[in-house]
Amino acid sequence: MDHPHPSARAREIVAGGYDTHVHVAPDVVPRLIDDLSLARRFRDVGLAGFVLKSHYVPTAERAAVVRAAVLGVDVLGAVTLNRPVGGMNAVAVEIAARGGARVVWFPTVDSVNQRSSRAEAPAGAIPPMWAALQEELRAEGIDPPPVAVMDESGGVRPDVRDVLQMMAKRDLVLATGHLSASEILLVVRAARDAGVRRIIVTHPEFTSQRLTVAQQQELAGLGAFLERCFTTPHTGKVAWDLMIENIRQVGPRHSVLSSDLGQPSNPPVEDGLALMADHLLAAGVSADDIHQMAVTNTVHLARDTTAAVGSTA
């Protein structure tokens, strides 16, 4: 399949950055590339590293193996609090942290919002690969209840507070997963109160979320980074123009670029950040602003630099 190729200028702008959101093999759905091969490609194109995301299994141990096998690339593990790890499970977070995980995604495919969402993608949009697996599991009678973050009165559930306290203790990065706008605002405030220092609002333009500019600005004001994923516009779920306008309205200082790549039909994972850079350059976004989102902010999230780049605290 033919895919666009990043320009040399785009490669240079994003060099040294991390892709904080990739889906690669081994996984329970087909993927374009395995993590060892991807690490070599990241090294070849000058990227610093990536975060291994799975909707279903923790990835810290995999990341440690890749770091040992491919020197010079910082591969980081994560855990996603869906049903396969027990949902909102503080023990799973603690074990993942002890294994070296850096990021904790709140529920994605098993979130109340994703399970109940009736939002329709634009005509021609490509559905996510996990959707078919979720349908297959349901057809086999494997359909546990969704993972809630909000109690009946609209407050934060006690198990969510337990997880956030564990994350603060271990200084882990929170990514909000596929929560709704109201859930995201609730969780981000609770995370700040618990002492979680680094927060990513996962693809706010995604079909089941579609956060407004006002909501994104409010979250930025709380110190969170708004994640701009390459796949969201590339697969037709949102127009590039809308995502770029959201970046302008919220500000590059509060945005972070990632690819969300790894699907067999999509471009090579190592091209994602640079392809985004080319789109942004064509829209008039400055090289400095792109570097801020692709490198400065991702390094802050991945390496725990002392300056809270997007924080207003």
pLDDT tens, position by position, 261-271: 999 999 999 99
Percent residues over pLDDT 90 in the chain = 86
Q: Is the bond preceding residue 26 a cis peptide, omega within 30 degrees?
A: yes
Predicted local distance difference test score (pLDDT) of residue 211: 97
Domain hosting residue 205, numbered range: 8-118+133-303
Reported as a single tens digit per residue, the pLDDT across 278-304 is: 999 999 999 999 999 999 999 999 986
3-state secondary structure of 311: coil
pTM: 0.93
Predicted local distance difference test score (pLDDT) of residue 311: 44
Contact 251, 224 (CB under 8 A): no
Mean pLDDT for all residues in the chain: 94
Q: What are phi and psi of 91, to 5 degrees?
A: -65, -40
Contact 299, 48 (CB under 8 A): yes
Whether 72 is covered by a domain: the verdict is: yes
Whether 126 is covered by a domain: the verdict is: no
Please, which pLDDT band fits residue 307 given cuts at 50, 70 and 90? very low
Q: Looking at this protein, which amino acid is placed at residue 42?
A: F
Reported as a single tens digit per residue, the pLDDT across 117-143 is: 877 777 777 878 788 888 888 899 998
Q: Select from 313, 309, 249, 247 the least CA-distant residue to 277.
A: 247
Whether 26 is covered by a domain: the verdict is: yes
Q: Counting runs of H as helices and runs of E as strands, what totals does the chain give?
A: 14, 8
Q: CB count, 10 Å around CB of 158? A: 10
Residue 211, domain CATH: 3.20.20.140
Whether 310 is covered by a domain: the verdict is: no
Whether 308 is covered by a domain: the verdict is: no
Q: Tell me how far apart the alpha carbons of residues 72 and 134 are, in angstroms, rounded to a whole number.
A: 36
Whether 1 is covered by a domain: the verdict is: no
**Total structural domains in the chain?**
1
Predicted local distance difference test score (pLDDT) of residue 306: 40
Q: CB count, 10 Å around CB of 91? A: 12
Inter-CA distances, 140 with 4, 110, 282, Å: 39, 16, 47
Predicted local distance difference test score (pLDDT) of residue 313: 36
Residue where the block lists tokens 């079909």: 207
Mean predicted confidence (pLDDT) in 180-197: 98
Predicted local distance difference test score (pLDDT) of residue 123: 77
pLDDT for 241 beyond 50: yes
Q: CB count, 10 Å around CB of 6? A: 23
Whether 2 is covered by a domain: the verdict is: no
Inter-CA distances, 219 with 78, 158, 166, 298, Å: 23, 22, 22, 18
Predicted local distance difference test score (pLDDT) of residue 122: 78
Contact 248, 224 (CB under 8 A): no
Q: Select from 110, 107, 117 the least CA-distant residue to 134.
A: 110
Whether 3 is covered by a domain: the verdict is: no
Predicted local distance difference test score (pLDDT) of residue 82: 98
- Those residues whose C-beta lies under 8 Å from the C-beta of residue 258, and which sit 6 or more positions away, are 19, 20, 21, 22, 227, 228, 229, 230, 272, 273, 298
Percent residues over pLDDT 70 in the chain = 96
Q: What are phi and psi of 30, to 5 degrees?
A: -60, 140
Reported as a single tens digit per residue, the pLDDT across 9-61 is: 999 999 999 999 999 999 999 999 999 999 999 999 999 999 999 999 999 99
Predicted local distance difference test score (pLDDT) of residue 126: 81
Tokens of 61: 């141990």
Reported as a single tens digit per residue, the pLDDT across 76-120 is: 999 999 999 999 999 999 999 999 999 999 999 999 999 998 777
